[in-house]
Chain A
Amino acid sequence: MKLVSWGGVAAFFAMGGYAFYVWGSYGMVAAALALEVILLLRRRRTLLRRLGRMHRMRAGAAQGAGAVQGRVLGQGER
């Protein structure tokens, strides 16, 4: 495998005069994919947090109702 001989970092970044076009392309691809991943992970996090809160509240409400019912029944027995 023969590697490209760029002859220095500056020449590499200059891309033979096409720096703006080449880095503009690769930069946009990197930025777009990174943004998609960030937005997706954030969507997942907020969704999980919201659902977690909802189910905890629901479980809490069911427990609370059970406790109240138990107390009422207990009083009735006495």
Chain B
Amino acid sequence: MSRRLINWFRFASPASFYPLAGRLAPWFAAAAAVLVAAGLFLAFFVAPTDYKQGEGYRIMFVHVPAAWMSMFIYLVMAGYATLGLVLNTRLSAMMASALAPTGALFTFLALWTGSLWGKPMWGTWWVWDARLTSELILLFLYLGFMSLKAAIDDPRRAARASGLLALVGAVNVPIIYKSVEWWNTLHQGASIRFSSGTTMEGTMLLTLVVMTLGFWMYTIAVALTRVRCEILEAEGHAGWVAELLARERGR
């Protein structure tokens, strides 16, 4: 029991997580490449033309995965931030800030592709509708989290303040998710529901799932690589970094 606990907490230390993240990242990157390639093939050559939206609906295969990832990454980020606030572990706060830029990127992509989808289908690039507005707020939450973290010099205080912001902002995620039910919006309702299953054609659903998994693996690969940078920036003076750099030079 005690041994397992020690082994588990070993990777909560930045010095031992650094090499582990370095070993894992290439595998996630490879998985992301394979899944996104398969997803693109499905999106353009297998998924049938939509009877109502023609070929324009193919935007969905990047729009929906990007939007899902934008919310999912926020929840994971807020989870790490909470862990950091409660347990005061440095690595949790580093993981939270490693995830934020990728989350912000997917939020921007969800808004961008949504705008390009809205123009031909609704006749407008943007409306102040509940779904769109709450997604825009999500982008501001990500940017606020990153700026707050960058604005405070002391890393512990920066982690605490930005962690609190991430935690409070998490309330926005269920609002985005439920906005199409709670308010009468221009944005279409969810095509996939946990309760009643899907109203979507099989290959379309498969394409969405494959693309989402690809984006997910991409996120993990990028976050692991970025957390290694965060670790090096925070612990650059430590002895283990010197040893590591000497070893890499020797190789």
Contacts and interface: CB of A to CB of B under 8 A. Distances in A.
B44 interface: yes
A contact face: mostly helix, strand, loop, or mixed: helix
Interface residues of B, number: 41
Interface stretch (B55-63, B153-161, B162-170): B55-63
Given A17-B54, A47-B232, A58 B242 contact: yes
B174 interface: no
B108 interface: yes
Given A1-B46, A43-B229, A21 B56 contact: yes
Interface residues of A, number: 34
A24 to B, nearest CB: 5
A61 interface: no
Among A25, A36, A40, A58, which residue has the most Cβ atoms of chain B within 10 A? Answer: A25
A41 B59 CA distance: 29
Interface in A15-46: 15-18, 20-22, 24-26, 28-29, 32-33, 36-37, 40-41, 43-44
B48 interface: yes
Given A21-B117, A21-B119, A29-B62, A47 B48 contact: no
A53 to B, nearest CB: 10
A77 B46 CA distance: 86
Interface string B40-78: 000011111100001110110011001000000000000
A68 interface: no
B119 A32 contact: no
Interface in A39-71: 40-41, 43-44, 47-48, 50-52, 54-55, 58-59
B92 interface: no
Contact of A51 (B102, B218, B245): B245
Interface string B101-134: 1100100110011001101100000000000000
A9 interface: no
A3 interface: yes
B242 A36 contact: no
Contacts of B241: 51, 55
A15 B45 CA distance: 12
A37 B112 CA distance: 19
A40 B245 CA distance: 19
B132 to A, nearest CB: 16
A28 B112 contact: yes
Nearest to B218: A33
A3 to B, nearest CB: 5
Nearest to A35: B105
B66 A29 contact: yes
Nearest to B243: A55
Given A4-B45, A22-B116, A25-B112, 13 more contacts: A18-B120, A22-B55, A24-B116, A25-B59, A25-B117, A32-B109, A33-B105, A36-B101, A40-B226, A44-B225, A51-B245, A52-B245, A54-B236
